[in-house]
Chain A
Amino acid sequence: MSKMLKTFRKGGIHPAEYKLTEKSPVEILPLPEKVTILLSQHMGVPAIPVVSKGDTVKAGQLIAHGRGFVSANIHSSVSGKVVRIDSIPDLTGYKKPAIVIEVEGDEWEENIIQSTDLRKDITLSKDEILEKIRESGIVGLGGAAFPSHVKLILPKGKNAEALIINGVECEPYLTSDHRLMLEYGEEMMVGISILMRVLNVRKAMIGIENNKADAVYHLKDIASTFTGIEVFPLEVKYPQGGEKQLIKALTGREVPSRKLPIDVGVIVHNVSTAYAVYEAVQKNKPLINRIVTVSGKSLKKPSNFVVRIGTPIRFLIEAAGGFPENTGKVISGGLMMGKALNSLDVPVIKGMSGILVLPENETKRKQVEPCIRCSKCVSVCPMGLEPYLLMPLAQTGDFYRLEKEMVLDCIECGSCSYICPANRPLLDFIRLGKTEVNKIIRERN
């Protein structure tokens, strides 16, 4: 390629990609016997249940109401009977309120259009669309699960110039967004047009890393039939999928510390979110399923599944060929930012893009050694922080100094821990520091 590909400048790493499932078409997973739907799958306030034990529900029926502005509705992902409303271990093992539904048949709410034909015409007005997105409980499907309607209502006096669509998928192993772009590209484009209408912008930029060349060409083809949507191949570099990194790569603008993308005139949404918006607005379908990559070198059949929210992870691993014997860790999310699980009974949540089953020798942490001041962590940090300094500050509890060192800018990408030749758990302590600093700031206000 003669032209230099776009990317962000500061820091970044190149972990091995292991995109084992990039050629596997998305399969629809059969229904499990029971689903566990957590009431706090999004950032913000947990939803309040509106059904009670013993109720029969249909797929797509509202079962918990988002309370407050930053919250999201939760819908039943299956039809059946509510058997339990109780505290159930979530992904961290701590018990959180959840609704357990026993599956009976597969009956959907009447107003949901189940046919797969493309509906391109956007008939609704801006406010109607916004209301639909809010009602459908759509959250950012890239992983952070921030309620989408909140991002679509712009603060007063702020204007969006462009919509950025995140198709980067820079995490190793994960291919759910890649398959979505290939198989549901047109639907996604309609979703993007809907988002553009809500935000009142003329321009949308889709950023895709160049290791997904097929998706780039496919979307470029489709984009020519839509107005204002442009596709940009990006250089492969982790963590390009980070909101601030992607904005820098595509527009050259830097989001200032502790500001939002809208402060530089852009809004970022994930490709899966755009698809969910399409389904909600054009098909009346709330967010009740998503694509999850189940991958790992020791798995018999790594796959991409369309999974109903609340399906136990054990069920997904069974469908991918069963639980391999030498497994060391099961990770929810990507290899770099995902979290290890302590049970296979935890359910799929809205923000879960992948399940990685990794053998023991690949996951073992190495012996921690003293810092050798090589400053590799500083050079890879995409936010320009100094992880070698932040870690001891968090360890000794100097949180006021941590705040001055901009610890809250950390996006927790884990590049520092990845690159450290002394195997220091940099991110572990930085994360702890962030929590404490946030606590201090909250007390101050």
Chain B
Amino acid sequence: MSSILITILSLSSMGIVAAIILYLVAQKFKVPEDPVIHDIEDALPAANCGGCGYPGCRNFAEACVHTDSLDDLYCPVGGQETMDIVANLLGKEAKQTDPRVAVIRCSGSFENRPRTNHYDGASSCAVASALYIGDTDCPVGCLGMDDCVVVCEFEAIYMNRKTGLPVVIDENCTACGACVEACPRDIIELRKQNKKDRHIFVSCINTEKGGIAKKYCSVACIGCTKCFKVCEFEAITMGNNLAFIDSDMCVLCRRCVTECPTDAILEINFPPRRTKTDKEKTTLLDALMKRDE
């Protein structure tokens, strides 16, 4: 009986002594921390995706606290809402940033871009791209393996096996930029999110001369400048035989889409076309005025 008592007493006294030592050490080496960091971290989406440029949400929260202005900081997953909450907590001003979404700038499906050889190496775009031109003659087009799908943490990209091209699910996309980083051919671009997920963009990044580009892909941008000439909003720029539509300038008037001879400009999530009426012309004017405001 006494041995049990001795055991209990000795162990608990050792425990108490250790607890006192630990308490004193904890007091001595205490790191004072701004409690706001914790609050901000709670407000963040906890995706730890790295889309903000910091390794995780915690680091982003620390950066928010330690900086004077929030202009350079933006959480693409939480968006403007989250940034407003963060700004509120800190008593700072959050910059207004448009939400963005990823688009795939290549339309080289099996149908549009004939395969010239068969690749059977490691299933990775990065490996294939470093090795050779790919299974078509296009040196910049989508390689159709899953690099962008694998890195997406929000299930926002899937591979369409019929076309061999990835597809972005706009609702899920947080514009974290992981796919942009992963794509060895820089096909994926983050563009402004428009109402009803509408997009107009040049779905090609090929810079070769028109005749050559057209040979290996029927929907390549051939740099004919037709869209450039028709655009009244200076949203389109030309360079290296390639047109580029600036999503911040574009008012989604769709005139360039009909003008493109190779169907390289895509319009997504638009209602079917009607013949042009006076009403539509006025909407166009409205759009122009809205932008100028």
**A interface with B by C-beta (< 8 Å):** 89, 92-95, 339-340, 342-343, 364-365, 368, 395, 425, 428-429, 431-432, 435
Contacts and interface: CB of A to CB of B under 8 A. Distances in A.
A106 B124 CA distance: 47
B127 A431 contact: yes
Interface in B124-164: 124, 126-127, 130-135, 137, 139
B27 interface: no
A-B pairs with lowest CB-CB distance, top 5: A93-B133, A425-B122, A428-B122, A92-B132, A342-B117
A95 B209 CA distance: 13
B121 interface: yes
B132 A431 contact: no
B277 interface: no
Given A92-B131, A92-B132, A342-B116, A432 B137 contact: no
Nearest to A395: B124
B292 interface: no
Given A92-B132, A342-B117, A429 B137 contact: no
Given A342-B132, A342-B133, A429-B127, A95 B121 contact: no
Interface in B107-121: 116-117, 120-121
B121 A365 contact: yes
B132 A339 contact: yes
A93 B124 contact: no
B211 to A, nearest CB: 13
A395 B146 CA distance: 12
Given A365-B120, A425-B127, A432-B124, 20 more contacts: A92-B132, A93-B133, A93-B139, A94-B132, A94-B133, A94-B139, A342-B116, A342-B117, A342-B132, A342-B133, A342-B135, A364-B120, A365-B121, A368-B123, A395-B124, A425-B121, A428-B127, A429-B122, A429-B124, A432-B127
Interface residues of B, number: 17
Contacts, number: 47
A200 B223 CA distance: 59
Interface of B: 116-117, 120-124, 126-127, 130-135, 137, 139
Nearest to A363: B120
A435 B122 contact: no
A429 B120 CA distance: 14
Contacts of B117: 342
A435 B130 contact: yes
Contacts of B130: 431-432, 435
A425 B127 CA distance: 10
A160 B242 CA distance: 54
Contact of B132 (A93, A425, A428): A93
30 contacts: A89-B133, A92-B132, A93-B132, A93-B134, A93-B137, A93-B139, A94-B132, A94-B139, A339-B132, A342-B116, A342-B117, A342-B135, A364-B120, A365-B120, A365-B121, A368-B122, A368-B123, A425-B121, A428-B121, A428-B127, A428-B131, A429-B124, A429-B127, A431-B127, A431-B130, A431-B131, A432-B124, A432-B126, A432-B127, A435-B130
A339 B131 contact: yes
Nearest to A425: B122
B139 to A, nearest CB: 6
Contacts of A431: 127, 130-131
Nearest to A435: B130
A445 to B, nearest CB: 22
Contacts of A429: 122, 124, 127
Contacts of A93: 132-134, 137, 139
Contacts of B122: 368, 425, 428-429
Contacts of A435: 130
B133 A428 contact: no
